[in-house]
Structure 1
């Protein structure tokens, strides 16, 4: 007897995982950079916190709006393609059947078998077969604007809260000395976790996030110091 082994596929996570990782990463980087820049300019704790909160609210809403618009455009394109395919299936069923069989021939099936597969899939759900094999649209990877927007906003706010908490608790003289390294540690862990969730090497994901984030915070610290001076 053979035992069925379960397989874990990660492609279904692509939409929400991308939005969540991007949101959390941007929340930490942009808010920490904002705090570091304002602190380097010589502002007091109240002004620094005010700037950080404004950055959290504005950034979360901006991420949500941007993600919603972007994914909605993808969803609109998918709907238009499906509507066109539905029309063609109604008007030219024989031609669509030959087209589907041709796709399977190109993938390696013998013409007779490809025709048989196309006929059976067409009888079961013609639109789903063409959506998947002709257009590359599947249920798991369909664009979901609201889901992506909510994930981005929540992730950004969660990430942005970290440097704000550090700012609230840290002594003013040690603000930059604590915000930058602690934010980088969290970003490194986030990059590693995201890479692992997507099936990529954790070290590579952690290093690329940490490198670009460090550059962003150092740049804003330098600009803030120059303006403050």
Structure 2
């Protein structure tokens, strides 16, 4: 037996990692695609920067709003489920005890042990036991709308700032290839980092996000070039 042994599992990172990477990827791909599309339409350097900044602000606010509404809806559902469970505990605690013991039996405990575990947990915190084991709601996993909105907007902003910084540092006549190449490099690094942290194949993670980023920028560049000719 090893004293003080602790196991570290990568699956615990997936929730916050997924949100952070999705936000940064969205910011990077959408802003880089917008910049490439506007640049392909032969806009001035200042107009390209304005478009990029506007895309950053609009995208971050959209991400924050969408995340807040989505997570708040989840929180409302959790609260409604907890309130229903609280009423059921008040109405028929014996039935709820039997239900909780049945959950433990299905997880592999002997019926008598499951009954004892249910008794002890309900004596300590009946609602908490049912929230965790029946509804799957815990304090660490419960919905936090404002936190989710800020995290989503923040990660989107970080991703969007990368192509904007490249525009500020690049000569105007080479904006499209430089922004495209730099953004694809950033995307590959993000994909590789996320894959490594999550224990997935690094090459596959990098290739996946790079392919879709290249496709998005290619389409917007084509549309921008076509509109620039028409204009």
List structure 1 segments (4+ residues) > 3 angstroms apart after TM superposition. Answer: 9-16
**Contact kept? 1:15, 1:148, Cα under 8 Å:** no
Q: Aligned partners of 2:213, 2:7: CA distance in 1, in Å?
A: 34
SS of the residue 1:36 aligns to: helix
TM-score (ref. length: structure 2): 0.94
**Contact kept? 1:60, 1:156, Cα under 8 Å:** yes
Change (3 A) 1:14 1:73: farther
Structure 1 equivalent of residue 27 of structure 2? 27
Structure 2 equivalent of residue 86 of structure 1? 86
Change (3 A) 1:210 1:152: same
**Contact kept? 1:16, 1:148, Cα under 8 Å:** no
SS of the residue 1:168 aligns to: helix
Q: Give the aligned length.
A: 229
Change (3 A) 1:195 1:40: same
Structure 2 equivalent of residue 136 of structure 1? 136
RMSD: 1.4
In structure 1, stretches of 5+ residues that fail to align are none
Q: Aligned partners of 1:10, 1:97: CA distance in 2, in Å?
A: 34
Change (3 A) 1:74 1:10: farther
SS of the residue 1:8 aligns to: coil
Q: Aligned partners of 1:200, 1:145: CA distance in 2, in Å?
A: 29
**Contact kept? 1:12, 1:140, Cα under 8 Å:** no
Shift of 1:200: 2.4
In structure 2, stretches of 5+ residues that fail to align are none
Q: Deviations over 1:127-156 (max 9, x none)?
A: 111111111112222111111110111111
**Contact kept? 1:11, 1:141, Cα under 8 Å:** no
SS of the residue 1:96 aligns to: helix
Structure 2 equivalent of residue 126 of structure 1? 126
Shift of 1:199: 3.0
Q: Deviations over 1:62-104 (max 9, x none)?
A: 1100110111111111111111111111111100000000111
Superposition pairs of residues 1-229 of structure 1, within 5 angstroms:
2-229=2-229
Q: Aligned partners of 1:196, 1:82: CA distance in 2, in Å?
A: 37
Change (3 A) 1:147 1:13: farther
Q: Aligned partners of 2:85, 2:202: CA distance in 1, in Å?
A: 41
**Contact kept? 1:15, 1:143, Cα under 8 Å:** no
Deviates most, 113-122 or 12-21: 12-21
Shift of 1:11: 4.8
SS of the residue 2:30 aligns to: helix
